[in-house]
Structure 1
Amino acid sequence: MNTVIAFVIIFGALVFFHELGHLIFAKRAGILCREFAIGFGPKVFSFKKGETVYTIRLLPLGGFVRMAGEDPEMIDVKPGQLVGLLFDKNGKVNKIIVNHKDEYPEAKVIEVERADLEHELYIEGYERDHEQLERFELSEPAYFVMNREEIQIAPYHRQFASKTLGQRTMAIFAGPLMNFILAFIIFVAIGMLQGYPVNKPIIGELTNNGSAMKAGLQQHDVVLSINGQSVSTWTDVVEIIRNNPEKELLFKVKRNNEILDIAVTPEAKEVQGETIGLIGVYGPMEKSFFGAFKQGAIETYYWTKEIIVGLGHLLTGQFSFDMLSGPVGIAVSTHKVAQSGVYYLMKWGAILSINLGIINLLPIPALDGGRLTFFAIEALRGKPIDRQKEGLVHFIGFALLMLLMLVVTWNDIQKFFL
C-alpha cells in the first residue's frame, strides 16, 4: 500500500506541475481552459473555479488541459432548432437553453434561423406565432445550458487557434518546462535539507562498523595527509583509499585545533572486476542557499544529459528494449527507492520529472514535442497545416503510444511478477 501511495503522490505531482505549465500560459494568452484534469477516465472529484473545472480522474496515468478550440465544440445550434434565451441586464443573451426549456419559464423561446457564436456573436430566430425575424447579441461570457449544466461559449478570440504562433508554442512548451523547473526545485530542496557534496578533505558521515569508525576517525575531521602525502580535496582522499585495499594508512587529521595521527586499514571490495579499498565514510556535505541553488542546477543538467544520452543509445540499438519501464516498472522502482529514505525518494521524483519533460519534447505525434514540430512547420510555411490532417496524425500517434504502453506494461509484469 505504501508503494501505491508513494507512486500516486510522485507521479501525480509530476503530472500536476506539467499540466499547470500548460494552464498558466494558456490563461495568460487568453485561451478559455475548460478543464484541468489529473488522470484519465471517470471523474472521481471535481470543482469549478472561474472558467475552469478542476478534476481528478480514476486512472492516475497522465492528465490534460482542455482548451477551447482544440476539439470540436460539444454543443452547437442549427437552423430550425428551438432554444430558450435568457438575457443580462443590458439586454444581451447570456444563456442559451438547449433542452429542458420548460424549467425556465422566463426564457424567450425562438426557432433558430441563423447564428454566429464564434465571430459576430449573435443568434437570429422567430418567436412562436411571430413572423418577424429577431436578432439577439450575445454577452461575454455567454453559456449553453444543457441537461441543467452550464457550458461556456468560446468566441474565436478565446480559442487556441486564434492566438499567435508564439503564444501557442509557449502554452505547449510550458508543460515540459515546468517538469525541469520542478526537478530543479527538488534538487535545491535536497541541498537545503540534507546538504550538498563539497570537494573538501573532510570526513563526512561514518558507516557503522566500518574501518574508519573502528580506527577512531570522526565526522568533521579535516584530513591533512595520508601516509605523509598531502591532500587538498576529497577526491585525493578517495583515490588514495581506493588504491590501497588492506594496506594500513596513516591519517593525519585536525580535530578541534588538535592534530592527530590515526591508522586506518581499508577493507577490500570487488567492484566490476576491480579490487578497491573502502573505509566506510561518506564525503563531506554543506548547507547554504547559494550552494544548494548551484547544486540544483548541476544535478538538473547532469540528469538531463544522462537521459538524453540514454535515449540516444536506445535509437542506436545500444539500449535494450527490456530496459524500458512503464507505470508498473516505475511503481516497483519507486518502492525500492522509498525504502532507502525520503531524500532518495525526492531525488527519484526529480529524475522522473526530467525524464517526463524530455519524453514530452520528443517530436512524436500526440506528445507536446509533436505539436511543437507542427508549429515549427507552420513557422517555415507561413501558414498552419490543415487542422483535420494534423488531428489525424496526432490520433494515430496516440494510438501507437497506447500500444507501446501496453507492450511495455506487459514486459514489466513479466519481468517483476512472472
Structure 2
Amino acid sequence: MTIVYALIMFCILVLVHEGGHFIAAKAVGVKVNEFAVGMGPVLLKKIKGETQYSVRLFPIGGFCAMEGEDDESEDERAFGKRPIWAKAIIIVAGSFMNLILAIVVLACIVFYIGMPTTTVNGFSDVSPAREAGLLSGDKIVSIEQHQVKSWNDITDAISKEKGEKITIGIDRNGKDLSFSMDLAKEEGTGRKIVGILPEVSRNPFTALEKGAESTWIMTVKMVEVIGQLVTGEVSTKELTGPIGITVAVSDSVRYGFIYVANLAALISLNLAIVNMLPFPALDGGRLVFLFIRKITGRAITDDIEAKVHFVGIMLLFALMIYVTWQDIGRFILN
C-alpha cells in the first residue's frame, strides 16, 4: 500500500505539472496532440477536439505532447511558431503550478490545524495563569509591559524570561488588567510555561498567507541546499530517489494525513525548483535555450538543441540510477 500511496502522490504531482504546460499551451494557441497520465503503452484514450487524452500503463509520470515541440513543424499552431513570450509561459507553467500546489496544500494544513490567537481558551493541568486569576476569553495584550501581537510573541517572551515570575497584561471585556504569576516547567521538555491554551482561528486568508510564507521559507532552504551541492558543502550521498521518497511516504502515512500532505507540498515544491534549474532536458534548460536561440538566431538548430537535451536526459538517468543504488543500500540492504 505504501508503494500505491507513493505512486498516487507522484502521479498527482506530475499531473499538476504537465497540466500547467497543457493549460498554458492551450491559452496561447499551441496545438496539443496528447495529454497523458503515465508512461508506456496506452491503456485508455479519448480524443476530444484536436487532443488525445490517455492513461498509460506505467504510473510513473505523464506528458503534454505539443505540436512542433521537439521537431520542425509547418503547422501555424506549432510550439516553434509561437513568439518567445508564449514559449516562456508554457515552459514555466509546469513549475508554477507545482509552486501553487505547494502553497495551497500548506494553506489547507494551516486552516485545518488552525492558527493560535492571543485569546485564552483554556488551561493545562499545571497552570500558574489560572491560579493567578486569568479566565477563558481573556485576551493577552502584553508580557512584562511589552506588547504582544501573536501567540509566538507570548511563547517567546515566556521562554526567554530569566526570573521566576512574570507579569501578563490582559484585556477582559474591554478592561485592562494585569496579573503576576510564577513560571512552571513543562514536564518532559523543561521549558517555561504559565499553563494557558490558546483559542484557535481558522481564517482562509490568514491560512493562505501562512501557506505562502511557509513555501517561501522552504524555497530558500532548498535553494541553499542546491547551492551547497554544487560547491561540495553537501555530499551527493545526501540525495534520495524514488525508494527514499517511498520510505518517506510510508513514515508520513504512519503519522497521519497532515504529514502526508506536508510531504506532498515539499515534493511539489522540489519539482518546481529542480525543473527550473538551467540544465539540459529540464524546463530551466529549455528556457535558457529559448533565449540563446533568440539571440543567436539560426546558429542553433532544433536538431542541435534536441541532441543537447538528449545528453541531459542521459545524465539525469545516470543520476537517478546513482541515487537509487544509494537508496537500496540505505533502506533495503541495511
Q: How does 1:366-385 map to 2 (within 5 A)?
A: 366-383=281-298, 385=300
Tell me the distance in 1 between the aligned counterparts of 2:138 and 2:299: 65
Deviation of 1:372 (Å): 0.6
Deviation of 1:256 (Å): 7.3
Aligned to 1:349: 264
Q: Give the percent of matched residue pairs that are identical in Structure 1 and Structure 2.
A: 35
Cα pair distance change 1:249/1:380, threshold 3 Å: same
For the pair 1:17 / 2:23, whether they are aligned, the reply is no
Tell me the distance in 2 between the aligned counterparts of 1:280 and 1:345: 31
Tell me the distance in 2 between the aligned counterparts of 1:160 and 1:22: 12
CA offsets, 1:21-80, max 9 Å, x none? Answer: 11112223332212112222233433222222222333333221111223459xxxxxxx
**8 Å Cα contact 2:106-2:214 kept in structure 1:** yes
Deviation of 1:355 (Å): 1.0
Cα pair distance change 1:355/1:280, threshold 3 Å: farther
**8 Å Cα contact 1:249-1:265 kept in structure 2:** no
CA offsets, 1:134-158, max 9 Å, x none? Answer: xxxxxxxxxxxxxxxxxxxxx5213
Aligned to 1:92: none
Aligned to 1:417: 332
Q: How does 1:66-105 map to 2 (within 5 A)?
A: 66-71=65-70
Where 1:70 maps in the other structure, the secondary structure is coil
Deviation of 1:261 (Å): 7.1
Q: Which amino acid aligns with 2:266?
A: I
TM-score by length of 1: 0.67
Where 1:30 maps in the other structure, the secondary structure is coil
Q: Which amino acid aligns with 2:88?
A: T
TM-score by length of 2: 0.82
Cα pair distance change 1:67/1:8, threshold 3 Å: same
The worse-fitting range, judged by mean Cα deviation, of 308-317 and 356-365 is 308-317
Where 1:57 maps in the other structure, the secondary structure is strand
Tell me the distance in 2 between the aligned counterparts of 1:309 and 1:248: 40
Cα pair distance change 1:385/1:282, threshold 3 Å: farther
Q: Which amino acid aligns with 2:319?
A: L
Higher strand content, 1 or 2: 1
Deviation of 1:171 (Å): 1.4
Gapped regions of structure 1 (runs ≥ 5): 74-117, 119-154, 207-211
Aligned to 2:125: 213
**8 Å Cα contact 2:142-2:170 kept in structure 1:** no
Where 2:234 maps in the other structure, the secondary structure is coil
Cα pair distance change 1:267/1:248, threshold 3 Å: farther
Match of 2:159 among 238, 242, 251: 242
For the pair 1:184 / 2:103, whether they are aligned, the reply is yes
Aligned to 2:25: 26
Deviation of 1:7 (Å): 1.9
Cα pair distance change 1:57/1:284, threshold 3 Å: farther
Q: How does 1:108-257 map to 2 (within 5 A)?
A: 155-196=74-115, 201-203=118-120, 212-215=124-127, 222-223=139-140, 232-233=148-149, 234-243=151-160, 249=165
Where 1:292 maps in the other structure, the secondary structure is helix
**8 Å Cα contact 1:325-1:412 kept in structure 2:** yes
**8 Å Cα contact 1:375-1:384 kept in structure 2:** no
**8 Å Cα contact 1:33-1:65 kept in structure 2:** yes
CA offsets, 1:364-406, max 9 Å, x none? Answer: 1111111111011012224462111111111111011011111
Deviation of 1:359 (Å): 0.3
Where 1:300 maps in the other structure, the secondary structure is helix
Where 1:156 maps in the other structure, the secondary structure is coil
**8 Å Cα contact 1:196-1:295 kept in structure 2:** no
Larger RCO, structures 1/2 (Cα 8 Å, 6+ apart)? 2
Where 2:279 maps in the other structure, the secondary structure is coil
Match of 1:402 among 304, 317, 332: 317
Where 2:76 maps in the other structure, the secondary structure is helix
**8 Å Cα contact 1:21-1:178 kept in structure 2:** yes
Q: Which protein has the larger Cα radius of gyration, Structure 1 or Structure 2?
A: 1
Deviation of 1:329 (Å): 1.1
Tell me the distance in 1 between the aligned counterparts of 2:5 and 2:152: 35
The worse-fitting range, judged by mean Cα deviation, of 317-326 and 173-182 is 317-326
**Number of equivalences:** 324
Q: Which amino acid aligns with 1:313?
A: Q
The worse-fitting range, judged by mean Cα deviation, of 236-245 and 372-381 is 236-245
Tell me the distance in 2 between the aligned counterparts of 1:243 and 1:304: 29
CA offsets, 1:106-128, max 9 Å, x none? Answer: xxxxxxxxxxxx7xxxxxxxxxx
For the pair 1:325 / 2:240, whether they are aligned, the reply is yes
**8 Å Cα contact 1:231-1:237 kept in structure 2:** no
The worse-fitting range, judged by mean Cα deviation, of 38-47 and 258-267 is 258-267
Tell me the distance in 1 between the aligned counterparts of 2:287 and 2:127: 60
Gapped regions of structure 2 (runs ≥ 5): none
Q: Which amino acid aligns with 1:232?
A: V
Cα pair distance change 1:384/1:345, threshold 3 Å: farther
How much is the aligned-residue C-alpha RMSD, in angstroms?
3.3
Cα pair distance change 1:358/1:204, threshold 3 Å: farther
